[in-house]
Structure 1
Amino acid sequence: MKINNNIQALNSYRNLHQNQFNTSKNLEKLSSGLRINRASDDAAGLAISEKMRSQIRGLKMAERNAMDGISLMQTSEGAMQEVHTMLQRMRELAVQAANDTNTEYDREQIQKEIDQLKLEVDDISEKTEFNTRKLLNGFSAVLTTFDAGINPINIVGYPKVTDANIKSGNYQLEVSNVVMTEKVTQPSAGLGQGDIKFVNPNDGMKLGEYTILVREVEQNQDAKIEVLDPDGLSIGTMVIPIGSNGANNAQDVYGIQMDATKISTAGTVKVKLEAEATLKLNDVSDPANTVTIQAERKLTSNNGLFRHGGVEYQFNSNLQAASLDYTITNNALSFQIGPNTNQNVMIDIPRMDIVTLGIEDVNVLTNADANKAIFALDQAINRLSDSRSKLGAVQNRLEHTINNLQVTHENLTASESRIRDADMALEMTEFTRNNILNQSATAMLAQANQLPQGVLQLLQ
């Protein structure tokens, strides 16, 4: 028998200490509801869980961002809707003014309402705001500029950026291999492919589909020819000899040459003038970005419109092989719709004043001016419709984004819960077991402490 070292007591104490430690862990998990309360509980699980928590909180905020973005665009689109209403009213007034039952005085009264509506369009452009941010005054647009005196490729207007992700900087458009093409898209009146060509397509004619109206035909005598440009506007009307009377078969009608000897009946002929060219967009500010934008590519215009590298260019028949330098200033709004870096969507909102819409000089004081006003207002309505359609498309996209964020948030939360949350039933079972072991170990420690007292019996 030994009294210096009570091995049984030490063993009981060790087991009691371990049971109390386990019970403490059970109590900690039961009181917090978490399986991992500190790194020592599960180092790897804690690291994974914390990364998931970052994503979960980021997803929740990205969802709110997307909702705020939709609210901003709805505010913009609501203002545009009212501008649309005013443009429709102005067009209605222009149609009214085009009727010669109106006197000069009548047209002046109509003009007064048009002038007031134009002022209100400008007011809406300047005053529409969201969270004090002006929306329709061009501060959120992607702008392009170049030296108007240097236009060797003869671009019409300014380049229009269609990709709001393109960065600000200096760019260069290279145009080469320019070829004008002409094709009869609707043969009629005896005229077909090869019977019509453009006399001098490089004199600034619009690109697109021309309509030739052949009317009042007297066989082997003459016919009235009217030419409409790609916008549907009349270039002019001319009477020419036809059939056997057309000794000179190459009749030039407002820049369009036709074989008049083949005209035998009335009809409507359509002929398309387009351009083919090779385009290359260089990022002068960052040459390494040129390939990313879009390298050299052979394109055919659509009504004089080329789309290349996220930019639209409008040309007429004066298109030349050369280079044009221009600058892009990107003020597009960035909506952070993801939990991580650069997970955003860019949206640009163009200026919506009367200058941008092309109705600054609209007046209906004469029949001719009223007809011009109808055309200008049609163009303005189309521009506005284009902008509203783009905003509507992005709104639909963001609604799908929100749905995806919600699903991802739900699934990530479930994943994080499996890693970090405590199984309360299991922990309660473990706590009950350890609690019983604590009581048992305490009793056994008391018994072990009594064992050395047996030595006293030997001293009697």
Structure 2
Amino acid sequence: MRINHNIQALNAYRNLYTNQMSISKNLEKLSSGMRINRAADDAAGLAISEKMRSQIRGLKQAERNSMDGISLMQTAEGAMTEVHSMLQRMRELAVQAANDTNTKEDREAIQKEIDQLKLEIDSIAAKTEFNTRKLLDGSSAVDTQFSNANPTNLLTVPTVVDPAMESGDYQVTVEMGTISAVKKLTQPGAGVKSTDVIASDLTELQDQELKLGEYSIVVTDIVVDDSTIPATKSATIEVFDPDGFSLGKKASQIAQASSNVIQIGTAPKMIEIDTSQISLAGTAKIKIEYEAEFSVKRHDGTTYQDITFKKKITTENGVIKHGGLELLFGTNMTAGDSQFTLTNKALSFQIGANTNQNVMIDVPQLSTVKLGIDEINVLDHESANDAIFKLEKAITQISAVRSKLGATQNRLEHTINNLQVTHENLSSAESRIRDADMALEMTEFTKNNILNQSAQAMLAQANQLPQGVLQLLQS
């Protein structure tokens, strides 16, 4: 028997200490509701759950960002709704003014209302803002401007359809020797069964300032001359361009046995028609488009580098979409390199928890100058008709912008739904790692509490063991 080292007491004390530490941890978890209160509780679990927490908080903020983005777009769209209404009213007034029942004074009165509506459109474009950020004055747009002589003969500067494109110098290339005219009969009529009714070849088309798209050949006033053998037919032939404007009309024999080409219109807007292809009264429609190989390049500080592969594309109403750009060509397309500068001021909405998880929104300037209606007047019949055409284009332009914003808004609503689902599932996973299972912890606490009481009792018993030595000393 030894009294200097009470091994049984030390053993009981060690177990008591262990039980007390376990009870302490149980109480900490039960009182905090967390399974991990410090890194020592679960080092790997802490690292994983902290990463999840950053994602969860980022997702929650991205959800709020998306909602703010929708609010911004709704503000812009609300302003454009009023611009749309004013354009519709201006078009209505232009139609009214085009009628020659109006006197000079009547048209001047109509013009006064149009002028006021133009002022209000410019006012809305300049003043509409969200959180002090201007929306419709062009400060949130992606602008392009030619930096050379436009050798490919684009009708307008390139329009950016991908607002994520970086600011810089770009080049659109139409590959040499790849341009060809494509004709398609979209509406048979007037006995026309072939696109050969348009006799203008590629070179002749490129010499004219015509638009690509659908041309209408209208045949009327058929006259049959039976005095000749064989009998001959004559008709009035009128050609309308893709915008619906008449290039001109001409009387000519039709349905001849051999080719008979006439010119309708005057240079530089003239087209050749083979009247031998026409045999009846009616309307035929033929699309004239171009096919060519296109590529888009960006200047890297030294030279222009491809950002797209060369691709053979057929225009659609003179338009191609390639490399994030929308390019409008006329029939005078030529091969070459058109260079332009792109300035990107689009709004970036952070719709994800991580770097570069964003969506770019560009809102073009919507002043009367940009809409092309700043100088319209209805003071005579011709001017009023021209105003109708320009207002129609402005209405189409506003509709396209509103449509794009509406589509983006729908996209963000789906983004919000996805963020909410992801947030929910990540929170569930993080909870399994970080949160305490209260039932399990209470079970552990009960077990450890009983063990603690038992250890205390055993320590008391072990402390009594050395007193047995006294019995030896008394004998």
Q: Is the 8 A contact 1:160 1:311 kept in 2?
A: yes
Q: Is the 8 A contact 2:197 2:278 kept in 1?
A: no
SS of the counterpart of 1:459?
A: helix
Which letter does structure 2 place at the counterpart of 1:324? S
**How far apart in 1 are the matches of 2:279 and 2:22?**
106
Q: Where does residue 327 of structure 2 map in the other structure?
A: 313
Q: Where does residue 281 of structure 1 map in the other structure?
A: 296
**How big is the alpha-carbon RMSD for the aligned residues of Structure 1 and Structure 2?**
1.8
Structure 1, gaps ≥5 residues long: none
The match for 2:411 among 387, 397, 407 is 397
Which string of whole-angstrom CA distances, capped at 9 and with x for unpartnered residues, describes residues 170-209 of structure 1? 1111112112233333333233312332262012211111
Q: Is the 8 A contact 1:121 1:354 kept in 2?
A: yes
Q: Where does residue 142 of structure 2 map in the other structure?
A: 142
SS of the counterpart of 2:144?
A: strand
SS of the counterpart of 1:307?
A: strand
Count of residues in Structure 1 that have an aligned counterpart in Structure 2: 457
Q: Where does residue 446 of structure 2 map in the other structure?
A: 432
**How far apart in 2 are the matches of 1:195 and 1:233?**
19
**How far apart in 2 are the matches of 1:35 and 1:93?**
73
Does residue 188 of structure 2 align to residue 187 of structure 1?
A: yes
**How far apart in 1 are the matches of 2:52 and 2:303?**
36
Does residue 199 of structure 2 align to residue 197 of structure 1?
A: yes
The match for 1:341 among 355, 360, 366 is 355
Q: Where does residue 14 of structure 1 map in the other structure?
A: 14
Structure 2 vs 1, CA of residues 73 and 288 (structure 1 numbering), >3 Å: closer, same or farther?
Answer: farther
Q: Where does residue 101 of structure 1 map in the other structure?
A: 101
Does residue 87 of structure 2 align to residue 87 of structure 1?
A: yes
The match for 1:449 among 441, 454, 463 is 463
Q: How does 1:103-122 map onto structure 2 within 5 Å?
A: 103-122=103-122
Structure 2 vs 1, CA of residues 38 and 375 (structure 1 numbering), >3 Å: closer, same or farther?
Answer: same
Structure 2 vs 1, CA of residues 36 and 263 (structure 1 numbering), >3 Å: closer, same or farther?
Answer: closer
**How far apart in 2 are the matches of 1:70 and 1:288?**
40
Structure 2 vs 1, CA of residues 415 and 243 (structure 1 numbering), >3 Å: closer, same or farther?
Answer: closer
Q: How does 1:176-255 map onto structure 2 within 5 Å?
A: 176=175, 177-193=178-194, 194-198=196-200, 200-202=204-206, 203-219=208-224, 220=232, 222-243=234-255, 249-254=260-265, 255=270
Q: Is the 8 A contact 2:193 2:277 kept in 1?
A: no
Instruction: Give 1:63 shift.
Output: 0.3
**How far apart in 2 are the matches of 1:187 and 1:412?**
61
Q: Is the 8 A contact 2:247 2:264 kept in 1?
A: no
Which letter does structure 2 place at the counterpart of 1:133? R
Which string of whole-angstrom CA distances, capped at 9 and with x for unpartnered residues, describes residues 147-186 of structure 1? 3x61211111110000111111111111121122333333
**How far apart in 2 are the matches of 1:261 and 1:435?**
108
Deviates more, 1:179-188 or 1:364-373: 179-188
**How far apart in 1 are the matches of 2:371 and 2:124?**
13
Length-normalised TM-score, structure 2: 0.93
Does residue 314 of structure 2 align to residue 300 of structure 1?
A: yes
Structure 2 vs 1, CA of residues 29 and 13 (structure 1 numbering), >3 Å: closer, same or farther?
Answer: same
Percent identical across equivalent pairs?
62
Does residue 337 of structure 2 align to residue 323 of structure 1?
A: yes
**How far apart in 1 are the matches of 2:303 and 2:431?**
45
**How far apart in 2 are the matches of 1:257 and 1:190?**
18
**How far apart in 2 are the matches of 1:294 and 1:37?**
53
Which string of whole-angstrom CA distances, capped at 9 and with x for unpartnered residues, describes residues 400-440 of structure 1? 11011111111111111111111111111211221222222
Which letter does structure 2 place at the counterpart of 1:181? V
Which letter does structure 2 place at the counterpart of 1:113? E
Instruction: Give 1:234 shift.
Output: 1.6
**How far apart in 2 are the matches of 1:323 and 1:161?**
18
SS of the counterpart of 1:198?
A: coil
Instruction: Give 1:316 shift.
Output: 0.7
Which letter does structure 1 place at the counterpart of 2:205? P
Structure 2 vs 1, CA of residues 264 and 449 (structure 1 numbering), >3 Å: closer, same or farther?
Answer: closer
Which letter does structure 1 place at the counterpart of 2:99? N
Length-normalised TM-score, structure 1: 0.96
Instruction: Give 1:261 shift.
Output: 4.1
SS of the counterpart of 1:275?
A: strand
Deviates more, 1:150-159 or 1:182-191: 182-191
**How far apart in 2 are the matches of 1:247 and 1:301?**
32
**How far apart in 2 are the matches of 1:139 and 1:10?**
79
**How far apart in 2 are the matches of 1:41 and 1:316?**
72
Structure 2, gaps ≥5 residues long: 225-231
Q: Is the 8 A contact 2:170 2:304 kept in 1?
A: no
SS of the counterpart of 1:201?
A: helix
**How far apart in 2 are the matches of 1:420 and 1:262?**
82
Q: Is the 8 A contact 2:216 2:239 kept in 1?
A: yes
